[in-house]
C-alpha cells in the first residue's frame, strides 16, 4: 500500500514541478526581456570621464614620439611626484555585474542531477532550469532585477559594489589596473553608461587602465565603439594593446588583448594575433627592468575554463600562441603576468633556467565566484609548458574569494628592496584583510 501511494505521489510531484517550471520560465522571460539592456551604442559623454585619450592627442599620459608602428602603440610615462618612495598599483579583474549563471554551483548542480527516477531531483532541476537558461542568455536585469532576486536568489553581480568601494577607500594610488570584464556585454551601450557612472569616483582620482576581457567582445564593431567611448580609443582600429612606463619605478606595464590571441580564425584574425605577438616581443625586449604583462585569459589556471587556450591540442594555433607568450615572458625576464577571467585568486611561479616569473590570476572583482575544484586545479597545472619551463609546486595557492591586489614598486635605484604584492580579501561591509603576500622578485621559497 505504501509503495502504491509513493507511485501515485511521484507523477503528481512531476506534474506540479513542470507547472511551476513553466510559470517560472514565463516570469523570467517577461522580466528578462523587459529589463534587458539592448544592443546599442554608448550614449554618455565622449570621451567618458577617466578615458585614456593619449592616442588621439589628449593628455594623460602622452604619446611617445616616434615613427615605428610599435612606438605609435606605446603610451608614455606615468609621472610620480618627486620625493615619493614608491609607486602604488591596485590590480583586480572581473567586476562585471549581471545574472549569468553558467558556473553558479547550486543551480548548475540541480540541473545536472535531474533524474527521471527521482521525483525530488527531477522537480528541483525543473525549477532551476528556466532560471539557469534565462540567466545564461539575458545579459542583465534592470527594473525587475530586485524582484527576481527575491524569488530566485539569482546573483546580480556578486560583490561588485563592495569591491569597488573598497578600492575607493584605499589610500590614493598611482595607477589602477583591470584585467578585463568590465561590463556584462560590450555591445550594450547602457551597461557602459552604468559602468562609467559607478566608476566615476575611482577613475577621477587616479589613472585607470584595462585589458579587454571576453565580455567586452572586441571582435564586434558596436562593442569596439563602446570601448573607445568609455575607455578610450586604441591607436589603430582593433589594436587593443598598449604599454605604459613608470620610469620612477623602473617598470613597464604591457597590456594585451587576449581575445584576439584566442581567435582561431585564419586570414585577418591570424594576422592580427601575429601582429600583437610581434609587438609584445618588441616592447618587452628592452626598456625598464621590471616588466609586467596584463591580459584577461590566464596562461596558467586552476579554474573553470580548462580549455581556454586549447592547450589539450598543442598543435593548434591558439595553443602555440600561449606557448610563445610563456617563452617570451621567460626570455624577456618578465617579473609577473596578471590575468583575470577565472572568478577567483590564484598564483603560481614559473621556473626557468635563470630564474622565473609569477603568474597571478586576480578575478575576484565582484562577478559571481567560481568554485576552485582541486581536480581541475591539478589538471590545469599539469598542462604542457614549453621546454625549460616548469611550475614550482610550492608556489601554487588559490582561493575563491572577492579580492584585489596592491603592488608597491619602490624607487628604481633602490636595490635589494622587495617588490611587494599584497592580496586583500574583501568581506561584507567592505572590510579587507591581507590573505596573501609575496615578493615578486623572489621565487616560491619566499612565499607563504
Which pTM value belongs to this model? 0.81
> What's residue 32's pLDDT?
44
Q: What average pLDDT does this structure show over 105-117?
A: 73
Tell how strand 355-362 and strand 345-352 pair up. antiparallel
User: Measuring CA to CA, how many Å separate 413 from each of 87, 175, 313, 318, 329?
Assistant: 13, 20, 44, 39, 23
| Between 239 and 70, the higher pLDDT residue | 239
pLDDT for 153 beyond 70: no
pLDDT for 166 beyond 50: yes
| Average predicted confidence (pLDDT) for the chain | 80
| Between 34 and 369, the higher pLDDT residue | 369
Helix H or strand E encompassing 76 = strand 74-77
What pLDDT band is residue 25 in, cutting at 50, 70 and 90?
A: low
Q: What average pLDDT does this structure show over 91-103?
A: 70
What pLDDT band is residue 113 in, cutting at 50, 70 and 90?
A: confident
What pLDDT band is residue 329 in, cutting at 50, 70 and 90?
A: very high
Q: Hey, what domains does the chain have and what are their CATH numbers? A: 2-35+101-138 (no CATH), 54-97+158-446 (3.60.21.10)
Residue 165's CB is within 10 A of a number of other CB atoms, namely: 16
For residue 76, the number of C-alpha atoms closer than 13 Å in the C-beta half-sphere is 16
> What's residue 66's pLDDT?
40
Residue 106's CB is within 10 A of a number of other CB atoms, namely: 12
> What's residue 134's pLDDT?
63
| Between 180 and 32, the higher pLDDT residue | 180
pLDDT for 13 beyond 90: no
- Cα 90 to chain centroid, rounded: 14
Instruction: Give the bridge partners for 422, in sequence order.
Output: 406, 437
Q: What average pLDDT does this structure show over 145-165?
A: 59
pLDDT for 412 beyond 70: no
Q: Which three cell numbers stand for residue 184?
A: 556584462
Helix H or strand E encompassing 86 = strand 86-92
| Between 365 and 448, the higher pLDDT residue | 365
% residues pLDDT > 70 (the chain): 73
pLDDT for 100 beyond 50: no
The total number of residues shown for the chain amounts to: 448
Do 338 and 66 contact (CB within 8 A), yes or no?
Answer: no
Q: What average pLDDT does this structure show over 221-249?
A: 92
User: Measuring CA to CA, how many Å separate 268 from each of 67, 219, 289, 296, 384?
Assistant: 24, 12, 33, 21, 28
> What's residue 413's pLDDT?
62
User: Measuring CA to CA, how many Å separate 176 from each of 87, 270, 422?
Assistant: 11, 31, 14
> 188 by DSSP, 3-state: which?
strand
% residues pLDDT > 90 (the chain): 45
Q: What average pLDDT does this structure show over 108-123?
A: 80
Amino acid at each position: 500500500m505504501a509503495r502504491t501511494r509513493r507511485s501515485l505521489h511521484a507523477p503528481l510531484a512531476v506534474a506540479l514541478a513542470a507547472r511551476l517550471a513553466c510559470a517560472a520560465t514565463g516570469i523570467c522571460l517577461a522580466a528578462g526581456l523587459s529589463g534587458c539592456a539592448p544592443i546599442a551604442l554608448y550614449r554618455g559623454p565622449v570621451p567618458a570621464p577617466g578615458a585614456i585619450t593619449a592616442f588621439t592627442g589628449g593628455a594623460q599620459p602622452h604619446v611617445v614620439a616616434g615613427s615605428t608602428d610599435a612606438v605609435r602603440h606605446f603610451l608614455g610615462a606615468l609621472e610620480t611626484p618627486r620625493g615619493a618612495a614608491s609607486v602604488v598599483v591596485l590590480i583586480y579583474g572581473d567586476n562585471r555585474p549581471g545574472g549569468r549563471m553558467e558556473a553558479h554551483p547550486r543551480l548548475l548542480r540541480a540541473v545536472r542531477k535531474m533524474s527521471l527516477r527521482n521525483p525530488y531531483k527531477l522537480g528541483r532541476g525543473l525549477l532551476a532550469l528556466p532560471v539557469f537558461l534565462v540567466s545564461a542568455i539575458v545579459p542583465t536585469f534592470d527594473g525587475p532585477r530586485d524582484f527576481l532576486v527575491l524569488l530566485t536568489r539569482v546573483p546580480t553581480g556578486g560583490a561588485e559594489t563592495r569591491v569597488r568601494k573598497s578600492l575607493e577607500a584605499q589610500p590614493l594610488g598611482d595607477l589602477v589596473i583591470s584585467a578585463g570584464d568590465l561590463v556584462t556585454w560590450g555591445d550594450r551601450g547602457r551597461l557602459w553608461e552604468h559602468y562609467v557612472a559607478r566608476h566615476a569616483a575611482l577613475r577621477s582620482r587616479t589613472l585607470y587602465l584595462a585589458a579587454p576581457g571576453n565580455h567586452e567582445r572586441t571582435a564586434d564593431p558596436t562593442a569596439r565603439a563602446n570601448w573607445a567611448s568609455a575607455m578610450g580609443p586604441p591607436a589603430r582600429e582593433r589594436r587593443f594593446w598598449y604599454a605604459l612606463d613608470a620610469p620612477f619605478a623602473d617598470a613597464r606595464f604591457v597590456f594585451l588583448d587576449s581575445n584576439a590571441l584566442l581567435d582561431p580564425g585564419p586570414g585577418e584574425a591570424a594576422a592580427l594575433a601575429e601582429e600583437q605577438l610581434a609587438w609584445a616581443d618588441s616592447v618587452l625586449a628592452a626598456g625598464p627592468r621590471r616588466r609586467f604583462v596584463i591580459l584577461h585569459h590566464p596562461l596558467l589556471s586552476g579554474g573553470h575554463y580548462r580549455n581556454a587556450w586549447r592547450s589539450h591540442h598543442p598543435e593548434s594555433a591558439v595553443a602555440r600562441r600561449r606557448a610563445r607568450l610563456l617563452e617570451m615572458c621567460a626570455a624577456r625576464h618578465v617579473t609577473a603576468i596578471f590575468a583575470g577571467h577565472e572568478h577567483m585568486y590564484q598564483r603560481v611561479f614559473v621556473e626557468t633556467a635563470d630564474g622565473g616569473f609569477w603568474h597571478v590570476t586576480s578575478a575576484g572583482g565582484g562577478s559571481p565566484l567560481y568554485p576552485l575544484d582541486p581536480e581541475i586545479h591539478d589538471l590545469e597545472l599539469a598542462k604542457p609548458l614549453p621546454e625549460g619551463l616548469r611550475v614550482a609546486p610550492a608556489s601554487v595557492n588559490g582561493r575563491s574569494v572577492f579580492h584585489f591586489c596592491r603592488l608597491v614598486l619602490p624607487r628604481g635605484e633602490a636595490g635589494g628592496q622587495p617588490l611587494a604584492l599584497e592580496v586583500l580579501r574583501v568581506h561584507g561591509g567592505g572590510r579587507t584583510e591581507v590573505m596573501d603576500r609575496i615578493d615578486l622578485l623572489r621565487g616560491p621559497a619566499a612565499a607563504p
